[in-house]
Amino acid sequence: MKKFFAALLAVMMLTALLSTMAFAEGEDLLTTIQQRGTIIVGLEGDWAPWSFVDENDELMGFDVEVARAIAEKLGVEAQIIPGEWDGLFAGMDAGRYDIVVNGVEVTPERTEKYDFAEPYAYIRTALIVRGDNETIKTFEDLNGKKTANSIASTYMNLAEDYGATCYGVDTLDETLTMVLQGRVDATLNAIVSYTDYMAQHPDANLKVVATTEDASNVAIPMRKGAETASLLEAINQAIAELHEQGVISELSMKYFGEDISK
């Protein structure tokens, strides 16, 4: 995996330069993308089954295939550049990414700064603890406890809202390892990500004690403004067609074993 990400470094530097130049000029982003022939997509690359590197050193996952399907609808290729979660939005702000496709949940705070396309998936958040933990049974029980989550994620924000002390990490594997080792009391993450982890680690001493009642909308953010207006319209049309054709539903079943597209 390290070789995979290292190989992308030179591409990222060149892409950042070219994309930032187009961004600074204030051009219509869809036109820029079409002229370039690629849409530059940011995602983590280490959050299975949303995105991950397989045994053949290939980038795979639900979001990877959704991004490629949208790019095909736009008549371009998806140039996918992995990065750490807490840098994805900053990268988009700076013009290094055109969009972020990373299981991003729509929140009031994010909609103040970014425009979101129509949702392509819906997820619930799970409260995950070690199998022998009997002190945490509800989200309210997080008050005064320790959790680990990706920095600035909705999961970290939710844990903090319930009074937890949160420790920032980079990957789901790290968060669950900290729970298993007793370094933190709990973690929050998408229930479908937890299910996938347990399918890969059936002996892991973990359990879900609660899930959010309402599902969150998962959508694609982009910079606000006239520059992205036509891109937003084009992506919305692409998502509508992919829903209608059952493509997103099929990808959901492929990676999650259930349909989270509706």
Instruction: Report residue 81 as tokens.
Output: 């550049």
Which range is least confidently modeled, 21-30, 118-127, 136-145, 226-235?
21-30
Kindly report, residue by residue over 13-42, the tens digit of the pLDDT: 445 444 444 444 558 999 999 999 999 999
What is the pLDDT averaged over residues 63-80? 98
How far, in Å, are 30, 142, 179, 194 from residue 146 at the CA level?
44, 8, 10, 19
Query: In this structure, how many other beta carbons lie within 10 angstroms of the beta carbon of residue 8?
Result: 17
pLDDT at 9: 42
Computed over every residue of the chain, the mean pLDDT equals 92
pLDDT at 27: 80
pLDDT at 160: 97
Kindly report, residue by residue over 162-214, the tens digit of the pLDDT: 999 999 998 999 999 999 999 999 999 999 999 999 999 999 999 999 999 99
The helix/strand/coil state of 104 is coil
Measured between alpha carbons, how far is 17 from 199 in angstroms, rounded to an integer? 41
Contact criterion met (CB below 8 Å) for 47 and 117: no
Contact criterion met (CB below 8 Å) for 242 and 40: no
Report angle CA 168, 173, 179 to the nearest 5 degrees.
Answer: 70
What is the pLDDT averaged over residues 209-236? 97
Instruction: Report residue 62 as tokens.
Output: 């639900």
Phi, psi of 132 (to 5 degrees): -95, 10
The helix/strand/coil state of 114 is strand
Instruction: Report residue 181 as tokens.
Output: 């080792």
What is the pLDDT averaged over residues 213-241? 97
Q: Which helix (H) or strand (E) holds 143?
A: none
Whether the predicted pLDDT of 6 surpasses 90: no
